[in-house]
Amino acid sequence: MIKRVDHSKMGRSELGWLDSWFHFSFAEYYNPDNIQYGALRVINDDIIQPHTGFDTHPHKNMEIITYVADGELTHGDSMDNKRTLTRGDVQYMSAGSGIFHSELNESDERLRLLQIWILPDADNYIPQYGDYHFPWTNRLNQWTQIVSPENGKAPIRIHQDMNIFVTQLVQNQSLEYEILPGRQAYLVLIEGRAKLNQVTLEKRDGAEIAAGKLTIQAQAEAHILFFEMKES
């Protein structure tokens, strides 16, 4: 079964400097029936205007993945990391027992990113930070795994039973994935248009996906994030 999550019905925040679509309850958007999906607690699709951003703020006991869809993200944190990431780059932060960080758009162009929070399998891990550049050609018409559990082989390994993949499908190209019994998936269509089995998704839509065989076909060039996890 596939349940489309229509971006036009998502929680919204428009603050001038920040324009957000909330896949799950966050900030002023609260829906008791839409708190999380499995261990996925937050997916925020944020557009950040030039020379603005999130000043230094704390996090604790959360696995945080930031995927840069377009523009430049400058990160700084209390572990003395300062990095600038660009389109397709991925940042990982295990907040664990506590960390402070900032996320800024110091460029002259808009920044679009997906902020992803994943509930960890235990509290108070030692905080960690990493960022990774995945060559764009590696995701063209194929799955590129960017995140795995600790016992997996992806460059980013998190404290949770979840795998995250990215792909860029050219028009009419397709990929398959079989979600095994006891597992489920969530998909975000970052850009383009795609069909999941018989369900059509537009830019910014999400989809909740139960166990079974899945075919993803691009109806226009499609940039996709795919989360596979244990069933909740």
Tens place of pLDDT per residue across the chain (232 aa): 999 999 999 999 999 999 999 999 999 999 999 999 999 999 999 999 999 999 999 999 999 999 999 999 999 889 888 999 999 999 999 999 999 999 999 999 999 999 999 999 999 999 999 999 999 999 999 999 999 999 999 999 999 999 999 999 999 999 999 999 999 999 999 999 999 999 999 999 999 999 999 999 999 999 999 999 999 8
Range of the domain at 74: 10-134
Which of 107, 134, 161 is the C-terminal boundary of a domain? 134
**Residue where a domain stops, chosen among 105, 134, 163:** 134
**In a domain? residue 4:** no
Q: How far is CA 40 from CA 83, 196, 224, in A?
A: 25, 20, 16
- Indicate whether 108 and 215 sit together in one domain: no
In a domain? residue 94: yes
> What CATH number is attached to the domain comprising 151?
2.60.120.10
CA distance 178 to 225: 16
Q: At which of 116, 134, 152 does a domain end?
A: 134
Domain-embedded: residue 2:
no
- CA gap 75, 221 in Å, rounded: 29
* Residue at 177 is within a domain: yes
Tell me, yes or no, whether 80 and 145 share the same domain.
no
